[in-house]
Structure 1
Amino acid sequence: MIKSKADYQYYLKRDKIALNIKSNTLESKVISIISPDLIYTFQKRMRKLEYFTNCKNKGLGKIHIAYLRYKYKKISVKLGFSIPINVFGPGLSIVHYGTIVINRATKIGANCRMHACVNIGASGGIPKAPQLGDNIYIAPGAKIYGDITIASNTAIGANAVVNKSFEEENTIIAGVPAKVIGNVDISQIIKYL
């Protein structure tokens, strides 16, 4: 969670690396003005809202937070994302536009790479949601729900339905319901590690 300006800058830097955004050249700056990367714009707005909500939420800061929430909601609807703040650690990479729904009680560590049509949430009226470790790859269409934990360095396969905890690291889980189908070197899937 972002708790200082240094954290905010670190999260932005790690997200930029995760999304392979190169902004030091004149060419990349011109391209970002003409045709901005909407996913990176979304992530920048999310991180800014997290920073102001967590660190600057007194006095006139509340007015600015309301404005940031408006801008964040506007781009969220445009991209099809329903992602609350303070869920993801640094190094988030959302690969495509499309429906992504995440419960606000969910916590996901650093370096999460996630595709479209992912749903992570609570189950059966219980307010507890999944807790995922660091270096998690979530393929398109995965559904993860319930009071469960997923170990770090895990790859979750396309259209998997994960409704129980997986405590072993360096595994691939897939299927309906999900089960361990093999081992993985997560750095081969998440290249920016």
Structure 2
Amino acid sequence: MIQSKHDLNKYLKEDAIALGIRENGLKSKLKQLIVPNHIWKFQKILRKVEYYKNCGSTGLKILLFLYYKIKFRNISIKLGFSIPENVFGPGLAIVHYGTIVVNNNARIGANCRIHACTNIGASGGSPKAPQIGDNVYIGPGAKIYGDINIGNNIAIGANATVFKSFEEPNIMIAGNPGKKIKEIDIKKIIKHI
């Protein structure tokens, strides 16, 4: 969770690396102006909302929080994302536009790579949502729900339905219901770690 300006810069740097964004230099800034990367814009606004929400106790920071919150709402609707603040750790990579719904009680660690049509939520009226570790790949169409834990270095395949815990690291989960398919090296899927 972002607790300082240093944390904000760290999260933004790690998110940029995860997305393959290089923002230093005139060429990259000109490219962003002509052909903006809306996902990167979304992630920058998300991190600023988190920063001002967690650290904003003065008048100016409260106003900046409200400003970024409105921008965040608008870009979320435009891209089809329903992602609350303070859920994802640093190194987030949203790969495509499209529906992504995440419960505000979910917690996802560092270096999550997430695709479109994904749902991470609560189940059966319970407010408890998945707790997901570091270095997790979530394929398109995956549904992860309930009071479950997903360990570190796990890949969840496309259209998988996961409603039970998987603590064993370095595995792939797929199918409906989700089950361990094989052992994997997550560094072959999430290249920047």
* TM-score normalised according to structure 1 size: 0.98
**Matched residues in 1 for 2:60 and 2:187: separation?**
44
Query: 1:59 deviation in Å?
Result: 2.9
1:68 aligns with 2:71: no
Q: Distance in 2 between the 1:58 and 1:178 partners?
A: 46
1:12 match: 12
Compute the displacement of 1:68 (Å).
Answer: 1.1
CA drift of 1:26 comes to 1.9
Partner of 2:141: 141
1:36 deviation in Å? 1.1
Measure the CA separation in 1 of the matches of 2:77 and 2:35: 19
Amino acid of the residue matched to residue 187 of structure 1? K
Residue 119 in 1 paired to residue 119 in 2? yes
Moved more, 85-94 or 63-72: 63-72
SS at structure 1 position matched to 2:181: strand
1:131 matched to 2:131: yes
The aligned residue for residue 56 of structure 1 is 56
Structural RMSD (CA): 0.8
CA deviations over 1:49-79 (Å, ceiling 9, x no partner): 0001001133342222111110000000000
Native 8 Å contact 1:57 1:65 kept in 2: no
1:35 to partner: Cα distance: 1.4
Question: 1:80 aligned to 2:80?
Answer: yes
Amino acid paired to 1:53? K
Aligned pair count reads: 193
Equivalent AA in structure 2 for residue 66 of structure 1: L
Determine the C-alpha separation between the residues in 2 that align with 1:64 and 1:89: 22
Greater Cα shift, 86-95 or 53-62:
53-62
Deviations 1:124-175 (A, max 9, x none): 0000000000000000000000000000000000000000000100000000
SS class of match (1:42): helix
Cα distance in 2 for residues equivalent to 1:131 and 1:6: 25
Aligned residue in 1 for 2:158: 158
Aligned to 1:170: 170
CA-CA distance at 1:25 after TM superposition: 2.6
In structure 2, the partner of 1:38 is 38
SS of the residue aligned with 1:120?
strand
- Structure 1's consecutive aligned runs of 4 or more residues displaced over 4 angstroms after TM superposition are none
Match of 1:105 in 2: 105
Q: Give distance in 1, aligned partners of 2:153 and 2:183.
A: 10
State TM-score, norm by structure 2: 0.98
Which whole-Å CA distance do the structure 2 matches of 1:106 and 1:67 have between them? 25
Structure 1: gaps (5+ residues) = none
